[in-house]
Chain A
């Protein structure tokens, strides 16, 4: 026990150290407010500092509130309470850059540029989606994976307006689900006894006229699994814009991107500003425009995430062209598992650009038997095309059965 906290330092020093520790954790990305430092003080006073392990778990109980924060906490604790001064010095060196991530290096925001120029430069912009990609030299090739960073073109004011309009008219191919909550409704079928009694008291309790209530409906949670491999490259920007708009439009939307690996980007997409949000997504994902291993990534999703996000009757929207590098091996099994865990599974395939296209690839044949609904988009050049593709024939309940020569 040679840690600094053990040497009977006066309380003031401990408080200062706890504060610095909290700041270090905050800089590392844990959501810690000043209130927690006070809580930590109380907790440490209550538990006393007798040994390092108790001290560790006392602070752990305060500062950690998700399982995945533990590794971060563990590392910070090890570093900090070995020699607090060291970390403090490190923080002083690091903090300025941490506090302003990307603020300086960011190119002039396109919307601001537009506003200043007064005109609309978006008009003579080529309609093609321009995605610049840069091979990150520091990342090596591993297991034939192509790891790339994506640099998205910023969204123009025009794009934003169109996205807003699209969201306003968007009809998703899944119906609202009934909840177990009720709201007053004169046309409802259940008696609302509480309201009935109150109303009857209002006129002296002579007449008891029944009041009614009705089940509340609510949109189901949506889990989006979006393919970002090379073959889907021309769509990824548009899909991300769509997903950003969707995430900000309603609650309970979870987004995972996959190519050769699976990335949960839900938190980044919750960021209000679309450019910031996409920049963060671009930084978090390492396998842009590489190969596809649908079976492998779905297995990962099933094992690690399905129970956490599919619990509440979630609808799964699978966006992929079904072109699989592993030629569909293991894919059927994972699709079956995914289908069984989800309330409804909708597959949107943007590859079907030609009318006569048939899903012949092995990946597609493995996916098709397990989807409740299959949406093919022949031409996806804009968000509104996507909205149309998703909404077409929406009130359809029968299950999609592939009757082609696939079998």
Chain B
């Protein structure tokens, strides 16, 4: 693995679009605008959307194309400073105390010594504030809606001033702010105070044209006819009243499965067999499997036949 080399930030919206394209991410111009603003004005980018629409991917692509380190903080309920920011290395501290006793050191020296950076374990947020030779890293705070409100409140200080306070050491401030991407699946509302500090973008399901573009890029092995059918089928499926409609991640998974099965076109039997990669709730599968899937496929075929190639 080569050492990542930092590349300059995009100077305009067009360049931001090119940048995302270079990372093989098919983006709308609207998303490129939000990304550009976040990079340019040093503000976090807040991405909200259903599961599987490519929110996390944006952070990964940014880190890769800008040549920055990616630091990921996966949120969960009860996430606290010990897991997110820093922790003291207690076992080593205790050994140090024992050694100091043996060496007859004064109490004050011991105290200064064991609360020094040597015993500090840096967790993602603190890592992101530490200078990096490749330039400020990309900090991905993933699925913030899973964390609880106290952590969200804690983030306010970090995201507005890019600093954290460690009582024993003082305040640590990033020399250059990291590139922050926050994602949320909207399993609960994030407080307005936090959103206000960010640029907001709702990542939607792509339209047929864009989804086909994504599929061609990510699944080049799939036959053109198959890709068109898959996209047509999934676009129709998203209009059905399902508990969870498939995202782009599911589109890619399904196509991969179909390619592995050596299919060049869709047929009702194959759809029924592979529906599990597409729909993740039994109720949904039961609804679509069989006649409903066949009906949607017939519609897609008619539309594709009518459309100019």
Residue numbers of A with Cβ under 8 A of B are 31, 33, 35-36, 42-43, 46-48, 50, 53-54, 56-58, 60-62, 64-67, 70, 179-181, 193-194, 196-197, 200-201, 204-206, 208, 251, 299, 302-303, 307-309, 311-312, 333, 337
Contacts and interface: CB of A to CB of B under 8 A. Distances in A.
B13 interface: yes
Interface residues of B, number: 52
A201 B199 contact: no
Interface of A is mostly: helix
B33 A54 contact: yes
B306 to A, nearest CB: 30
21 contacts: A42-B41, A47-B37, A48-B12, A53-B29, A57-B34, A61-B200, A65-B46, A66-B189, A179-B78, A193-B90, A194-B88, A201-B111, A201-B114, A205-B101, A208-B94, A307-B185, A307-B186, A308-B186, A308-B187, A308-B188, A312-B188
Contacts of B188: 308-309, 311-312
Given A47-B36, A309-B188, A54 B13 contact: yes
B69 to A, nearest CB: 25
A204 B106 CA distance: 9
Given A197-B88, A311-B187, A64 B13 contact: no
A65 B165 CA distance: 28
Interface in B219-258: 241-243
Interface in B90-145: 90, 93-94, 97, 100-101, 107, 110-111, 114, 145
Nearest to A31: B192
A64 B200 CA distance: 7
Task: Name the residue in B29, B30, B33 with the highest tally of chain A Cβ atoms < 10 Å from its Cβ.
Answer: B33
Given A46-B41, A206-B101, A303-B243, A61 B145 contact: no
B15 to A, nearest CB: 12
A153 to B, nearest CB: 32
A179 B80 CA distance: 12
Given A205-B97, A307-B187, A309-B188, A54 B29 contact: yes
Interface string B146-160: 101110000000000
Contacts of B186: 67, 307-308
A48 B188 CA distance: 35
Contacts of B309: none
B34 A180 contact: no
B29 A200 contact: no
Contacts of A46: 36-37, 40-41
B201 interface: yes
A200 to B, nearest CB: 7
Interface in B192-206: 192, 195-196, 198-202
Contact of A205 (B33, B76, B110, B242): B110
For the complex of A and B, 7 pairs with smallest distance between CB atoms: A180-B78, A311-B187, A57-B33, A65-B195, A61-B199, A193-B90, A65-B200
A206 B241 CA distance: 67
Nearest to A300: B241
B107 A181 contact: no
A48 B38 CA distance: 14
B47 to A, nearest CB: 11
A274 to B, nearest CB: 23
